[in-house]
Structures are given as C-alpha cells and as structure tokens.
Amino acid sequence: MTQKYVVRHIARPEASVVEEFSKLDVSTVYEAQGKVGLLGPDLKPIIDDVMICGPAVTAVCYAGDNLMIHAAIEVCQPGDILVVTTLGDSVAGMIGELIVSALIRRGVKGLIIDAGIRDVTRIRELGFPVWSKAVYSQGTTKSRGGWVNSPAVCSGQTVNPGDLIMADSDGVVVVRREDLSFALDASKKRVAKEEVTKSKIAAGELSLDFYGLRPVLDQEGVVYFDTYDDVK
C-alpha cells in the first residue's frame, strides 16, 4: 500500500439489501454469519439507542493527521458510512463539528473511527451517529497523504470499500460484500429461531431444558443441593 490514492467510485450493496439488514441488529448478524466481523469493544457510540447500516467508504490516515478524511468527504454518497483508521495508534480529535457538518451535507449516515473525536456536544446536537475509541481535544495536522477506499483495518477487522457496516448500542460489525446474501439469509433464520425461543420462555419453559443443558451440567460434575448447609 505504498502508492497513496483516492478511489472515486466503488461498488455498493443494493439499496434493498441495505434496507433488509437495517431491520436487524449487530448481535444477530454477527452470530448468524459465523461469529465473525465484529469490530473491537473500544469503539463506543456517542449517541445512545441509534442504529446505522450502509456501505463503507474507508479512509486510512496517518496518526494525528486528518487530510484523507477531507479527501474522503468528496467521494461519499448519500447512505454511506465513513470508516476511518490510522497508521499508528491515535486518540487525537481527528473529526469535529465542521467535518461532521460536511458529512451530513453529503448524506452520510454515520462515522466509525478507530481514533478520537471532539466537539461531542455539538455533534450530539446535530444528531450524527459516531462510534469512536476516544473523545479528546488534541488537534491534528492536514499534511500527510494516505488512502481513500482502500482496504482498512479498523479496530481489528479488515473493512473493504463497499462492505456493509452495521452499528448499534452493541457495537459495530462488518459484512463483506460477497457474503451479503448468506449473512442476510442466516440472520433471518436466526430471528425466526429466536421467536420460537421467546415463545417457550413466555410459556414458562426453562432454558436448561429447551437448550438441553442438563447433561452438560452432569458432565461438568455440577451437583444440586437443597440448601447451602448441605454443601460439603
């Protein structure tokens, strides 16, 4: 990745596919696609109880420099989610009110950034969803070239431009574009299965029984006692 570049045009998931995923949640999709694609727990939402879903536009910056974020704004389309990562660890406030205002103007749904942000109060007032690993006022430079719409490692996961990003209160997950059909089908099946489980719980059934966990307790040598006094 020595040649620095900006890719203007990327393939994106069909709008109907994004809409279908938008009816799901991060945990369901992560589990359904084989417990893969979950970005690290250091990424926290600055606004509670919001969910975003859309294609990734990626920006790879040098730590402490946000030049390529400015370059990424130009190629973002309505419905996109900007995914920012850095070469070298960074908690600097790489994005604030002004960049967020520009992203809103471009129709971007939200931001995932493996670095810091600032102007949080104002960003919340603007209602713009952001998942970041730090809130820190430290400023940045705008002098180092990087990459827009290249593969990007964000909080432990590789995100390719055009991959589907989902983020909610549970975290952030990426679905590779080539896995969209499989992940969507598996997620719908998981939702249907969970509805059956909810019905069992509502009917008073115990999870130990409908999950078949009592033999596991036996294998692990777990013994039941009526009172603590009986434990030896």
**Per residue in 54-87, pLDDT tens?**
999 999 999 999 999 999 999 999 999 999 999 9
What is the Cα–Cα distance from 173 to 175, expressed in whole angstroms?
Answer: 7
Q: What is the pLDDT of residues 147-193, one digit of tens each?
A: 999 999 999 999 999 999 999 999 999 999 999 999 999 999 999 99
Q: What is the pLDDT of residues 89-112, one digit of tens each?
A: 999 999 999 999 999 999 999 999
What would the mean pLDDT of 9-37 be, rounded to a whole number?
A: 98
Q: What is the pLDDT of residues 218-231, one digit of tens each?
A: 999 999 999 999 99
- Average pLDDT over the chain reads 97
Residue 203 in tokens: 């009917």
What would the mean pLDDT of 114-128 be, rounded to a whole number?
A: 98
pTM: 0.94
What is the Cα–Cα distance from 26 to 20, expressed in whole angstroms?
Answer: 13
pLDDT of residue 232: 76
What would the mean pLDDT of 121-148 be, rounded to a whole number?
A: 97
What is the percentage of the chain residues whose pLDDT exceeds 90? 98
pLDDT of residue 1: 58
Half-sphere exposure of 172 (CA within 13 A, CB side): 33
pLDDT of residue 2: 83
pLDDT of residue 173: 98
What is the percentage of the chain residues whose pLDDT exceeds 70? 100
